[in-house]
Amino acid sequence: MLEIRQLRYVQAVGEELHFGRAAARLHIAQPALSRQIQRIEQQTGAALFVRTQRKVELTAAGALMLERSRSILRELEQLEQDVRRAGKGELGRLTIGFIHSSTYGLLPRTLQRFRDLYPDVELELREMSIADQATALARDDIDVGLTRPARYAPGIETLSIMEEAFVVAVPAYHPLASSASTPLARLSNEPFILFPRASSPLFNASILRMCETAGFTPQAIQTATQVHTVVGLVSAGMGVAIVPVTAKNMQVSGVAFLRIQENPPPVSVVLAWRTSRETPSLRAFRAIAFKVGEEFMATQARTRRGGDVC
Amino acid sequence: MLEIRQLRYVQAVGEELHFGRAAARLHIAQPALSRQIQRIEQQTGAALFVRTQRKVELTAAGALMLERSRSILRELEQLEQDVRRAGKGELGRLTIGFIHSSTYGLLPRTLQRFRDLYPDVELELREMSIADQATALARDDIDVGLTRPARYAPGIETLSIMEEAFVVAVPAYHPLASSASTPLARLSNEPFILFPRASSPLFNASILRMCETAGFTPQAIQTATQVHTVVGLVSAGMGVAIVPVTAKNMQVSGVAFLRIQENPPPVSVVLAWRTSRETPSLRAFRAIAFKVGEEFMATQARTRRGGDVC
DNA sequence: TCTATTGATGTCCTGGAGGTATTACCGATG
DNA sequence: CATCGGTAATACCTCCAGGACATCAATAGA
């Protein structure tokens, strides 16, 4: 089989058309070069160069080999560089699962920053439920999920990147709308828009638990899966709701958000991935998402103080 | 720079996912393989395989390298094979100049046989005058010319591949039309269609000389450069002409061809090429053209005996 | 005829690829 | 829990292919 060295030598001689100069360019002595070329010619049975004393010329086979050698050498160089970049996570492909609500906060900012830093990593985005992400991770359908804490199969690792407090959403005309905060008990007789237990078990359970702690059971007048829908229903005056604070980022008017005085436990946004599928790109994505999460929480802590009518 | 060996090793390990088996497949011992892979990983700074005890897995960088290595190795193999074939003249490109009249005989047969034997040699055909071929050869615009003897620049070699006798062409109704041969002197008072001296010096000079030897100067009533045109004019009854015997192969009716009793010197068809540009494909082409020329002459010697009205 | 140029040849040397033996690590098994 | 089996990594040695150096051979040009 031909060796890379031989291609390099053919290229040098083919371009210089002079064994001495070609050898100098290759940082080897001329006899070594002569012998290598001879060896190729012997291996292939094809004369590559016509050495008339005083000048060297390419044969047809030589010209063919010169051209193709150039191309292979280029590819090889590109390969080495790409492997190097892939090793640093600058090259590759990342399939990201995400829950719908993350598009109102973390995800766009994370993607933007990631694309800036790693423009040659191909990103594939898939909106999927928390449960779907769990199975997709287990089946290796996605590389990483931007999701919520849940029961994941063994071998799936998670990292919490943001804690979202819950807030109360009330219609703008509601008596509470001008307050910055409220105790939960104040809502005991309000009609509630809740998350359905089946499709949003985490939110459903968290909210029921905090109301229970406050001493009442919320009166469900309606349920909706998407945070966006819930807030929409509130704005339509159907009732009040307890939603994660990112809901403020949605462009929905006619809704006021109030801090909950009991400070119930927040809900996390987590990254989830298979430990065994940890790639450099994934590591990079994780680091960026984590950073963005931190910044995001800092921002929200600041804005929380002001009045919150959108 | 990456070595071919390294690509082969990555491919083996990437496909077997087992150092021992990969080493066996490569006919080397396992430690050597381990070391080489380590060296690549060190060179590129990218982990290619995850060696969890009990199993070997590809990283993203490894998968990238595996795929690209396969492709480069394939190309390299193809290259070696192609160089080998190019050396034997089975691959390449041949630009052939030819005079128009050769399409009535040698050229089609030569091309057909050459294509059968060397299907991967690309052929480029250019109809050009004898003089144009001479300059094209000198300027390396064509690899070989199918032409006539002429003054060629030094470094241009020629090989005669066919001798064509001259014959007399007369209209079918002409008193001589039923004869198989005639002495030239019999034509001294006939109107002649001649080849112009400027564009067909060889034919012009040959014909004038043979008439002169026969004791007369032909009366030119018309001139034409192409043999085909000359024969056409004869068939139209404009006069008689002296043309090379291949003219019989043209599909022109109403013309009779007669042997010349004086047996004037024939005219050659030659191959011309630059000595320094002798490629294997050219050698092959030359051999075939030579063979076809021999066969062609044999055929004509046979048919010459019969009556020659077309 | 002599000299300069340039590729080929002869000879020796060395780095690195490979081999053998062994170790290290882990999982399975009784 | 000790041991065994399987697998990759390490240690150390061998050997050869590719390279350096010196020289030759052939030719062009002065």
Average pLDDT of the segment spanning B235-260: 93
Task: Among B83, B122, B143, B275, pick the best mutation site for testing chain A contact (most A Cβ within 10 A).
Answer: B83
B174: Cα separation from own chain's centroid? 40
Structure confidence at residue B303 (pLDDT): 54
Give the nucleotide at minimum CA-to-C1' distance from A19.
C7
Nearest CA in chain A to B84: A44
Question: How sure is the predictor about A309, in pLDDT bands with cuts at 50, 70 and 90?
Answer: very low
Which residues of B fall within a CB distance of 8 Å from A51?
Answer: none
Which residues of A fall within a CB distance of 8 Å from B48?
Answer: 83
Structure confidence at residue A310 (pLDDT): 36
Give the nucleotide at minimum CA-to-C1' distance from A5.
D18
CA distance B308 to chain A (A): 46
Give the pTM: 0.75
Structure confidence at residue A307 (pLDDT): 37
- Asked if residue B56 keeps its beta carbon closer than 7 A to nucleic acid strand D, the reply is yes
pLDDT above 70 as % of chain B: 96
Structure confidence at residue B275 (pLDDT): 82
Residue type at B120 in one-letter notation: D
* Length B92 CA → C22 C1' (Å): 55
- b/e A186-202 (16+ beta carbons within 10 angstroms → b): bbeebebbbbeeeebee
Which residues of A fall within a CB distance of 8 Å from B50?
Answer: 276
Q: Does pLDDT of A23 surpass 50?
A: yes
- Is residue A123 within 8 angstroms of chain B, CB to CB? no
Q: What is the mean pLDDT of chain A?
A: 90
Structure confidence at residue B135 (pLDDT): 93
Euclidean distance between CA atoms B289 and A142, whole angstroms: 65
Query: Could you tell me which residue, B146 or B275, shows the higher pLDDT?
Result: B146
Q: Does pLDDT of A304 surpass 50?
A: no
Q: Does pLDDT of B75 surpass 50?
A: yes
- Is residue B68 within 8 angstroms of chain A, CB to CB? yes
- Is residue B237 within 8 angstroms of chain A, CB to CB? no
Nearest residue by alpha-carbon distance to C1' of C25: B53
Which tens digit of pLDDT belongs to each residue from A79-133? 999 999 999 889 989 999 999 888 777 899 999 999 999 999 999 999 999 999 9
Give the nearest partner residue to B84 out of A4, A44, A79, using CB atoms: A44
Average pLDDT of the segment spanning B26-52: 91
> Which residue is listed with tokens 């044999």?
B298
A-B contacts at Cβ under 8 angstroms: 116
* Length B2 CA → D15 C1' (Å): 24
Q: What is the dihedral of CA A29, A32, A38, A39, to 10 degrees?
A: -150
Interface contact A60-B2, CB threshold 8 A: no
> In a 3-state reduction of DSSP, which class is residue A50?
strand
C-alpha closest to that of B126 among B151, B112, B143, B114: B143
CA distance B10 to chain A (A): 12
* Length A271 CA → C26 C1' (Å): 31
Q: Does pLDDT of A41 surpass 70?
A: yes
* Length B6 CA → D19 C1' (Å): 22
Euclidean distance between CA atoms B207 and A186, whole angstroms: 124
* Length B289 CA → C19 C1' (Å): 57
Residue A283: phi and psi, rounded to 5, are -55, -45
Interface contact B72-A68, CB threshold 8 A: no
Nearest residue by alpha-carbon distance to C1' of C10: A31
Structure confidence at residue A67 (pLDDT): 93
Q: Does pLDDT of A308 surpass 80?
A: no
Q: Does pLDDT of B102 surpass 90?
A: no
Nearest CA in chain A to B74: A72
CA distance B281 to chain A (A): 9
- Is residue A20 within 8 angstroms of chain B, CB to CB? no
- Is residue A279 within 8 angstroms of chain B, CB to CB? yes
Q: Does pLDDT of A278 surpass 70?
A: yes
Average pLDDT of the segment spanning A168-190: 94
Which tens digit of pLDDT belongs to each residue from B116-166? 999 999 999 999 999 999 999 988 899 999 999 998 988 899 999 999 999
Which bases on strand D have an atom closer than 7 Å to a protein beta carbon?
A: 6-11, 18-23, 26-28
CA distance A75 to chain B (A): 8
Q: Does pLDDT of A219 surpass 90?
A: yes
Average pLDDT of the segment spanning B258-272: 94
Structure confidence at residue B309 (pLDDT): 39
* Length B54 CA → C28 C1' (Å): 12
Average pLDDT of the segment spanning B18-46: 91
Euclidean distance between CA atoms B269 and B61, whole angstroms: 63
Nearest residue by alpha-carbon distance to C1' of D25: A53
Structure confidence at residue B142 (pLDDT): 95
Nearest residue by alpha-carbon distance to C1' of C27: B54
Structure confidence at residue B80 (pLDDT): 92
Euclidean distance between CA atoms A128 and A147, whole angstroms: 9
Average pLDDT of the segment spanning A189-202: 92
Q: Does pLDDT of A62 surpass 70?
A: yes
CA distance A58 to chain B (A): 10
Structure confidence at residue A303 (pLDDT): 54
Average pLDDT of the segment spanning A31-60: 90
The radius of gyration computed from the CA coordinates of chain B, to the nearest angstrom, equals 32
| Cβ neighbours of A250 (radius 10 Å) | 18
Which tens digit of pLDDT belongs to each residue from A228-243? 999 999 999 999 999 9
Which tens digit of pLDDT belongs to each residue from B170-206? 999 999 999 999 999 999 999 999 999 988 889 999 9
Structure confidence at residue B305 (pLDDT): 40
Average pLDDT of the segment spanning B231-238: 95
Question: How sure is the predictor about A276, in pLDDT bands with cuts at 50, 70 and 90?
Answer: confident
